[in-house]
Amino acid sequence: MKIKKIDHVCVIVNDLNTAKAFFVDFGLEVRGEWEMEGELMGYAAGLGDTKVACVGLGTSDGQTWLELIKFISPSNEKEIILPLANSLGIRHIAFNVEDIEAVVANLKKRGTEIFSDIQQYEERFKLCYVRGPEGIILELAQEIQ
């Protein structure tokens, strides 16, 4: 058995339009939008009969795919809990960026929560952590040439 790559990351959101706008402004491109419903989706999600709205986003090189999914039914409109760094589960999505200072400045202008200064990790990376819509944590990483 050989794993070739991670195919995509899925993030469940309540406000699909806000999350989509955030990631488009961030630099991802909309690759598709669709709705799914029925037993197959419910079976795959372990929820029975469901209906979802989806947005697929990617980088211009086609190497990254991020799926945003809003459950229309059954819905989950509970308050978003902002996890701590040591909370169990998936904590963040890391993006390799070209100009971390410009990206962080743009995110600050839009009111995005920046919760770490830009730090340098060895002679390899500049790193910064931000919180997007619905508590989604992004790690921004710029390779040092």
Lowest mean pLDDT among 7-21, 85-99, 101-115: 85-99
Q: Do residues 66 and 122 share a domain?
A: no
Q: Do residues 109 and 65 share a domain?
A: no
**Mean local confidence (pLDDT), 9-17:** 93
Q: At what angle do helices 100-109 and 16-26 cross, to 10 degrees?
A: 140
Q: Which domain holds residue 57?
A: 9-73
65 within some domain: yes
Report the number of distinct structural domains present in the chain. Answer: 2
79 within some domain: no
Lowest mean pLDDT among 20-24, 45-49, 56-60, 118-122: 45-49
pLDDT score recorded for residue 112: 93
Question: What pLDDT band is residue 48 in, cutting at 50, 70 and 90?
Answer: confident
pLDDT score recorded for residue 43: 62
Q: What is the pLDDT of residues 58-93, one digit of tens each?
A: 999 989 999 999 988 887 777 777 777 788 888 899
- % of the chain beyond a pLDDT of 90: 63
59 Cβ partners below 8 Å, 6+ apart?
A: 27, 28, 29
